[in-house]
A and B are shown apart, each in its own frame.
Chain A
């Protein structure tokens, strides 16, 4: 955490010409993206366009090999940080497929996570009583059952419960940058509303949210400031919310045909 002076002047996140591959296959192809503080961005695109790749690389998944470009987070080289350091610096990934971890209790994970982040900020460990109150309050927002407290991380959760748990974690950890990877997939309309309300409670001038999604539907509940289309491993078009509506009526073909190399 150096260069504090510049952090507020610079955008929160700058992805510059990012090129990456996995198992020898190039999946990002000179991707550029800038996220300002307090902004909500939606990244849309067809299957296999690199949407999840981008979230995974930003969160620090080791499987991907970055072969070009850079990522600046609060003006610093994000890619030089280990995944846990990124989390402590305020980055949060809401997983598309949250992992089940039998034997590890939800609440203890949350507490360990919160304390790790607080420690990095030079804060004391959270008081056990205050912590439980905080979790209960956020559980009410997410309409989660009390039994959640005694269950193992995502073990035996339905798809909807897993996604709600991701948002619950986000609400407790209060990240500066939340990347939500297809958080809406597999949700029925009620669960979608709950998840969206949860995300909306976090919106604020100091927090940025990136929604990776296939569908416009989510964006009716969480209205984005910017919409980007990702195809072939880079952003091929950016616009405001109306772009999402246009995509819904026209699909992606009219855009991807323009970028397919001759």
Chain B
């Protein structure tokens, strides 16, 4: 192990980052650190870490304490909150600022059957059964999770009571202005509960934030979670995240990931369909312009009979942008009559852009229906010629087709306010944005 690698690892040492969680939690974190020292940081040769190359972790000190807070960046946070630009009219909103959960209307949440606690507050309860944190799909050597365990400071614990359906979405906005953040989110929907959860990541300009986020979700019997994730961090920021979901019998988990910002973003999503008739729909869009690296990885495990999964991913890259979709579907032995659909379509707008796709199927049972397809290409020449032949200029025609390509997944988002915001965001990336805005109506 080189000295450089040691620096990245050393900064993760929980001794440097004490959490007042009691002896059990601290010993768990020490154990995680020892394991991580043995394994080393992930490399592209490790299963599941092919994209992107995480060498970036070797060189930087990942602790918050190593970063200076900047008054400009803090002003950005105040303005962002005060102006409420991110707020959705219809949603219950919670800000998490530099890892700290801000004051919120917990009575309004409780009235909806939702309890929200901080991880710190629940630590004695959550521990000592640390196994409870790790979803059954997790491999013991899941290195990013081990890192997150070493670094975690606080988190949100959400629980929706059985048979309660929130009539408003819950919107969690993570604002970061400096340093490293290791948010932990735990969501539990009890039987027949329903929730729409929107998570949004933003950071101050040139703040160089580093975020390592872990989310664990349990969707109980016949519960339904719609999970919308919006990543629009500053280009100087890095976000690595792991989301693990367990869906019980007849439960439904729907996921929408929209990734636009950050210099590097990796979202690793694992969904385990653990009960009969459980289902999941996963949608994702990344737009990797200007040297950005945006990487979406999914692993869906069909572990019970009559389970269904559907994945629709779209990627766009331009100007040395890089992206990837690495999607694995596993149908376990005995998961009869499972069905799985996987589609990944990708668009390269400039020659220096790159997108890698790796759809994989592992089927260990008979009587299943699985399909997958992945394409990467440039804009359709026939469509382009059609628009040009009607008098549209090149920039508008290309922008329009790119918008239409991305809109394929944008319009799957069930909240119209987010749909139109995403639409505007896509258009903003394209040449001739002013003209194209008209197409949004």
Known interface pairs A83-B389, A99-B386, A101-B401; A112-B396 also in contact (CB < 8 Å): yes
With the chains together, A26 CA to B439 CA distance in Å?
41
- Do A87 and B390 touch across chains, with their CB atoms under 8 A apart? yes
B438 within 8 A of A: yes
Q: How many residues of A contact B (CB 8 A)?
A: 32
Q: Judge whether A99 and B391 touch: CB under 8 Å.
A: no
Interface flags, B381-423, vs A, CB<8A=1, else 0: 0110111111111101100110111011000000000000000
Q: Is the interface of B mostly helix, strand, loop or mixed?
A: helix
Pair B389/A87 contact, Cβ less than 8 Å: yes
In angstroms, Cα B388 to Cα A59, docked, is 9
Q: B393: which A residues are within 8 A, CB to CB?
A: 84, 116
Cβ of B435 within 8 Å of any chain A Cβ, yes or no, is: yes
CB <8 Å contact, B438 and A111? yes
Q: How far is the CB of A126 from chain B (nearest CB, A)?
A: 12
Question: Is A95 an interface residue, CB under 8 A from the partner?
Answer: yes
- Cα of A93 to Cα of B390 in the assembled complex, Å: 8
Q: Does A61 contact B (CB under 8 A)?
A: yes
Contact A105:B439 (CB < 8 A) given known A60-B388, A83-B389: yes
Name the one of B382, B386, B388, B390 contacting A173, with C-beta atoms under 8 angstroms. Answer: B390
> A103 and B389 in contact (CB under 8 A), knowing A84-B394, A111-B438, A112-B435?
no
- Tell me if A52 is interfacial: C-beta within 8 Å of chain B: no
Min CB–CB distance A102 → chain B (angstroms): 6
Q: Which of A64-112 contact B (CB under 8 A)?
A: 82-84, 86-88, 92-93, 95, 98-99, 101-105, 108-109, 111-112
Cα distance A113–B389 in the bound complex, in angstroms: 9
Question: How distant is the Cα of A234 from the Cα of B383 in the complex, in angstroms?
Answer: 29
Give Cα distance in the complex from A112 to B395, angstroms.
Answer: 13
A168 cross-chain contacts in B, Cβ below 8 A: none
Which chain A residue shows the least CB distance to B382?
A99
Partner of A95, one of B386, B401, B435: B386
Given contacts A99-B383, A111-B438, contact A104 B404 (CB under 8 A): yes
- A98 contacts which chain B residues (CB < 8 A)? 386
Contact indicator A113/B404 (Cβ below 8 Å)? no
| Partner of A88 from B387, B391, B396, B441 at Cβ < 8 Å | B391
Q: How far is the CA of A41 from the CA of B385 in the complex (A)?
A: 25
> In whole Å, how far is B333's beta carbon from the nearest beta carbon of chain A?
39
A residues 126-162 with Cβ under 8 Å of B? 152-153
* Contact, CB under 8 Å: A113 / B392: yes
A117 within 8 A of B: yes
Are A109's CB and B404's CB within 8 A? Answer: no
Residue A208, interface by CB 8 Å = no
Q: How far is the CA of A152 from the CA of B438 in the complex (A)?
A: 15
Contact with A along B310-333 (1 / 0, CB 8 A): 000000000000000000000000
Of B389, B404, B408, B438, which is within 8 A of A101 by CB?
Answer: B404
Report A30 CB to chain B, min CB distance, Å: 26
Point out the residues of chain A lying under 8 angstroms from B392, CB to CB. Answer: 84, 109, 112-113, 116
Known: A102-B404, A103-B405, A103-B407. A109 touches B388 (CB 8 A): no
Q: Is A196 an interface residue (CB 8 A)?
A: no
Residues of A within 8 A of B386 (CB): 95, 98-99, 101, 153
> In the bound complex, what is the Cα–Cα distance between A99 and B407 (angstroms)?
18
Q: Is A169 among interface residues, defined by CB-CB distance under 8 A?
A: yes
> Roughly how many angstroms separate A99 CA and B386 CA in the complex, as a whole number?
7
Contact B391 A117 (CB under 8 A): yes
Inter-subunit contact B390/A113 (CB<8 Å) = yes
Complex contacts, B394 vs chain A, CB 8 Å: 82, 84
Residues of A within 8 A of B401 (CB): 101, 104
* Chain A hits for B397, CB < 8 A: 84
Contact B403 A108 (CB under 8 A): no
Q: How far is the CA of A95 from the CA of B393 in the complex (A)?
A: 19
> In chain B, residues 307-366, which have Cβ atoms closer than 8 Å to a Cβ of chain A?
none
B405, chain A: closest CB distance, angstroms: 7
Interfacial chain A residues near B385, Cβ < 8 Å: 60-62, 83, 99
CB distance from A155 to the nearest CB of B (A): 10
Contacts of B380 in A (CB 8 A): 99
Chain B residues, Cβ within 8 Å of A62: 385
Q: Which of A25-82 contact B (CB under 8 A)?
A: 59-62, 82
- Residues from chain B with Cβ under 8 Å of A173 in the complex: 390-391
A113→B390 CA distance, assembly (Å)? 5
* Chain B residue at minimal CB-CB distance from A118: B391
Contact of B388 among A87, A102, A169 (CB under 8 A): A87
With a 10 A CB-CB cut-off, give which of A101, A105, A120 has the most chain B CB atoms.
A101
Cα A84 to Cα B385 with chains together (Å): 9
User: Looking across the interface, which residue of chain B has its beta carbon closest to that of A100?
Assistant: B383
Q: Once the chains are docked, how many angstroms separate the CA of A106 from the CA of B383?
A: 13
Kindly report which residue of chain B lies nearest to residue A169, judged by CB atoms.
B390
- B403 adjacent to A103 (CB under 8 Å): yes
Most chain A CB inside 10 Å of its own CB: which residue of B382, B385, B441: B385
Give complex CA distance A116, B394 in Å: 12
Asked if B388 and A83 sit within 8 Å, CB to CB, the answer is: yes
B383 touches A101 (CB 8 A): yes
Q: A103-B404, A113-B390, A120-B391 are in contact. List 18 more A-B contacts (CB 8 A).
A: A61-B385, A83-B385, A83-B389, A84-B388, A84-B389, A87-B388, A99-B386, A101-B386, A102-B404, A102-B408, A103-B407, A108-B438, A112-B400, A112-B438, A116-B392, A116-B396, A117-B391, A152-B404
A-B contact pairs, 8 of them (CB 8 A): A60-B389, A83-B389, A92-B389, A99-B380, A108-B441, A109-B390, A112-B392, A120-B391
- Which 4 A-B pairs give the minimum distances between C-beta atoms? A103-B404, A87-B391, A116-B391, A113-B390
